[in-house]
Amino acid sequence: MNTDVKAIVHLGSSHPSTGYTVHVVDGSPIGAVHTLQIVQYEGDEGFYLLYLDANDVEITDTYHSTLEAAKEQARLEFGVERNAWRTC
Amino acid sequence: MLISVYEYDAYGIARVTRTADLKEPYRYGFQGMLRMSEVAPSTTIINDYATLFRTYDARTGRWTSHDPILQPWESTYAGLAGNPAMLTDWLGLTPGGGDQRAASNSDASKPGGNSAPPTLLSSTTQTGGGHQAVPLVPMVPMTPIEGIGHSYVILNINVVADRPFSLTYKLPSLPNCLGDKPERSQSDATSVALVKGGTDALANVIAGTAKVVAGGLIMTASAATAEIGVGVLVFAVGADLAASGVNQIIYDAPQETVLKQVARGTLETAGVPKEYAEPIASGIEMGVQTVAGGVAPATGRSLTVTSIETVSTPGVVFSAADDVATRAATVLDDVAEAGVVGPTLVDEAAVVVGPVQEVAKATRRGRAPEFPSGTISEDAVLNTTIEYLGEGYREVSPGRYVSVDGLRQVRYGRHEVRVPGNHHVHFEALDELGRVVENAVVRIE
């Protein structure tokens, strides 16, 4: 499954989690998210917002029907403004 | 049981429109002082108080007789050392920075219980009276969230109100995050606002105030229900201003107007949609009190929520989760016993103190199923999905199933099975705009 990375942002001290969304993986809340990545998979029209740890390992993801919706999710969760994204 | 509701300004003047004895007058009022009801026996509005050592006039914010303990740096009539946000003086002896009752119990040799913790601005200056100087800024380190310094204490209680009501609670004062801030700043010490809107509004406020000192109480009013969030949001920037009380905000306009303006500006800055950004009432003033009230737009039901009269109890906010939990339980009990609750308490209180993950966990909206073990059998996936989504759900795209109301989603598609040995399923809760508010990932065994 080919992956097309659409945008990426590294979360720093200016992007604290707002607690808007609760992510629980395998029964436990997820740890610190260091990077957000929006990707699109071949054959899938949706956009996945990937939550990556310090080693760029995917912790979890959310699905969004548009690129803008994925960015809005990131804004709500981490205060990532539109212009903070690096487009790939 | 909720007996009385009182609201005071910073120095203890009872507010007429927000003060009522629901059952019978209560003997004690502002800061736990005895209300002198003989002065005006026919009204619940009492502004004269008696303490063990002297009487206090809230209208002037001053005592009516000399301080038994001479404070050489101020008038012997001065009330609360000019710092009602942080200090209490229920004995009429000398203002203290902490819970004087508790302190008195622990050290009966110090009248007034001034066994305050060390302070950064004024530590242990001794006076002729032998008691410690008034703490200007309690040393309460904030619990950092991932090293950033933002902390939350959120206590969300959702109720369905069937008639107007109000409640008053005391919460611990805002802790401080000290820094070399200018002595006066209105822009830093700003407010959390009451906004019109649905349940999103609260989250919008929270999301939008990352750089704002905020504290107190948030209420949102939606069409059919009213959601009250009682709690404290504390952020690092300028929190010292809100907490210290030494940095007085100087208002050029009536307080309410200023608060609304500040709240509106905060919301605009935060990017909250304009239709949700009109404050009905607002905010926090130096950690003194927060007032919120409004009308549910569809039902016209009004909901007035209170002031929070902050009490200087350094350390409580971030060190005693049990205390907050107790307060939550009290709120729930009072709401129920006041008979103002409709058919349901929508949610139990979610209480959290500390790091953001705990906040997130505690404030989860409780719709996505929980899997403490983190796993689910393959056979159970289908049944659990059907149970979670309810009748009429549909597959909106391959591997993505959404409930009829659009608020619940299950994802189990190619993406979730692409890694051998890590097949999983997402149970998600969405808000009204389709944004994810809960995302429970469960591994399939």
Predicted ipTM of the assembly: 0.95
Give the tens place of pLDDT for each residue, B245-272: 222 222 233 334 444 454 455 445 444 4
Distances (CA, A) of B165 to B22, B56, B69, B330, B343: 10, 29, 42, 16, 16
0.90 cut: is pTM over it?
A: no
Q: Does B200 touch chain A (CB under 8 A)?
A: no
Q: Two tokens at B282?
A: 């607002």
Which amino acid, one-letter code, is at B61?
G
Are residue B184 and residue B314 in the same domain, yes or no?
yes
Contact residues on chain A for B150, CB-CB shorter than 8 A:
16
Backbone angles phi, psi at A52, to 5 degrees: -110, 145
Is the predicted pLDDT of residue B407 greater than 60, yes or no? yes
Backbone angles phi, psi at B120, to 5 degrees: -85, -35
Whether residue A28 and residue B374 make contact (CB cut-off 8 A), yes or no, is yes
> Is B142 a domain residue?
no
Would you call A72 helix, strand, or coil by DSSP? helix
* Domain endpoint, select from B315, B338, B362: B362
**Pairwise pLDDT comparison (B114 vs B62), residue with the higher score:** B62
Residue A73: predicted pLDDT? 93
Residues of A with CB under 8 A from a CB of B: 1, 13, 16-32, 41, 43-46, 48, 60-63, 65, 69, 72-73, 75-77, 79
Are residue B81 and residue B211 in the same domain, yes or no?
no
Tell me the β-bridge partners of B195: B220, B279
Backbone angles phi, psi at B365, to 5 degrees: -85, 0
Are residue B279 and residue B354 in the same domain, yes or no?
yes
Would you call B70 helix, strand, or coil by DSSP? coil
Q: Which helix (H) or strand (E) holds A86?
A: strand A86-87
Are residue B423 and residue B329 in the same domain, yes or no?
no
Tell me the β-bridge partners of A22: B438
Give the tens place of pLDDT for each residue, B120-170: 112 222 222 222 222 222 222 223 222 222 222 333 333 333 333 333 333
Are residue B318 and residue B379 in the same domain, yes or no?
no
- For residue B391, give how far its alpha carbon lies from the nearest alpha carbon of chain A (Å): 22
> Is B141 a domain residue?
no
| Tally of domains in chain B | 3
User: In terms of residue numbers, what domain contains B106?
Assistant: 1-136
Name the DSSP class of B342.
E
Residue to test with chain A: of B142, B373, B402, B439, most A Cβ within 10 A = B439
β-bridge pairing B436-444 and B375-376: parallel
Contact residues on chain B for A13, CB-CB shorter than 8 A:
147-148
Q: Are B173 and B86 in contact (CB under 8 A)?
A: yes
Please, which pLDDT band fits residue A7 given cuts at 50, 70 and 90? very high
Residue A67: predicted pLDDT? 94
Is the predicted pLDDT of residue A17 greater than 90, yes or no? no
Are residue B50 and residue B168 in the same domain, yes or no?
no
Would you call B158 helix, strand, or coil by DSSP? strand
Q: Are B232 and B174 in contact (CB under 8 A)?
A: yes
Give the tens place of pLDDT for each residue, B293-312: 333 333 333 333 333 222 22
Are residue B393 and residue B345 in the same domain, yes or no?
no
Q: Does B284 touch chain A (CB under 8 A)?
A: no
Share of chain A above pLDDT 90, in %: 47
Q: Are A7 and A86 in contact (CB under 8 A)?
A: yes
- Helix B200-208 to helix A67-78 angle, to the nearest 10 degrees? 70
Are residue B282 and residue B343 in the same domain, yes or no?
yes
* Domain endpoint, select from B362, B387, B416: B362
Please, which pLDDT band fits residue B333 given cuts at 50, 70 and 90? low
User: Of all residues in chain A, what percent are helix, strand and coil, respectively (each to 5)?
Assistant: 15, 40, 40
- For residue B38, give how far its alpha carbon lies from the nearest alpha carbon of chain A (Å): 50
**Tokens 């009385």, residue located:** B4
B244-259 exposure pattern, b = at least 16 Cβ within 10 A, e = fewer: bbbbebeeeeeeeebb
Is the predicted pLDDT of residue B227 greater than 50, yes or no? no
* Domain endpoint, select from B362, B393, B408: B362
Interface of B with A in 220-249 (CB under 8 A): none
Q: Does B373 touch chain A (CB under 8 A)?
A: yes
